[in-house]
Structure 1
Amino acid sequence: MIRDDIKAAQLTAMKAGDKESRNAISLIQAAIKNRDIEARTGKAPESDDALVIEVLQKMVKQRRESIEMFSNGGRQELADAEAAEVAVIERFLPAQMNEAETTAAILKIKDELGATGMKDMGRVMAELKARHASELDMSKASGLVKAALS
């Protein structure tokens, strides 16, 4: 499980004296704990790994947005710190599908559902998320689905 990998990495970082990794992993654990608390009142995810992956993807997305803002604002040292956190977080995410693999998955789903136009985009996106949510960035996939359906 990913949660166990994160705990093991925390111990390794502490023993090695890697302060940056330790801090980033602490942030990951805090975000996961917050999500666990939220999950108590709402609908629980299908698996623990799905919950952890969802949290990690959200953290990466937030940091990438911060990197862009810091870079545009001339604060490169802050952008570099965020990039270092992204590198630590991505160690725990499953391998992401490249554009060619994503397009192939979209075309397969499109054929299976018989999707013909933009009116079917919601169905295709829902099926894509159900099958490959942990392996791809849904915001990038959205543009590829639009291209495949137009």
Structure 2
Amino acid sequence: MVRKLDEAPAAPATVLLPYESEALADLVRISGLLNSLEFQRKIVGDSVIPDDPNAFSAIYALATAGSLRPGVLATKLHVSAPTASRLVEKLSCAGLVRRIADPDDSRASLVALTAEGAKAGADIFSKGDIMMDALLADWQPHDRIALTSLLSRLADAMLSDRR
């Protein structure tokens, strides 16, 4: 069955963020870019991380937080428990994570990075640093220092003002 369209397809509209704060609009834009699969693929390149929209974030979460219960991992990734379970299975098949007994509750399990998973996590951080250096290569040193300082202040303020 052919669907009738009312008009020819238009070029995608540019989405304008209706924030009064330009800083917030830029942060939202940056956050969207950082979380995009395209951006994450630029960082991980030809790594062993499966091509899954949540794999990069899972490796990052486990590399920074350590072993997590599957439900906690799902919460950190903002996905359902079944989605997290399928992701853990993909990462396990790729040799990046393993399930281990929770030392605090023998009925529960934790998801932990394997040595290969820890290497993939370290690679994410290393490649991210290289990419950031490239993005800021033509910035003056004082501008780089100011950006770092201001972002740290903003992150601290956001963490202390959790509502």
Query: Larger radius of gyration, structure 1 or 2?
Result: 2
Give 1 or 2: higher helix fraction.
1
Q: Which has the higher contact order (CA 8 A, sep 6+)?
A: 1
Tell me the TM-score normalized by structure 1: 0.27
Give 1 or 2: higher strand fraction.
2
Tell me the TM-score normalized by structure 2: 0.25
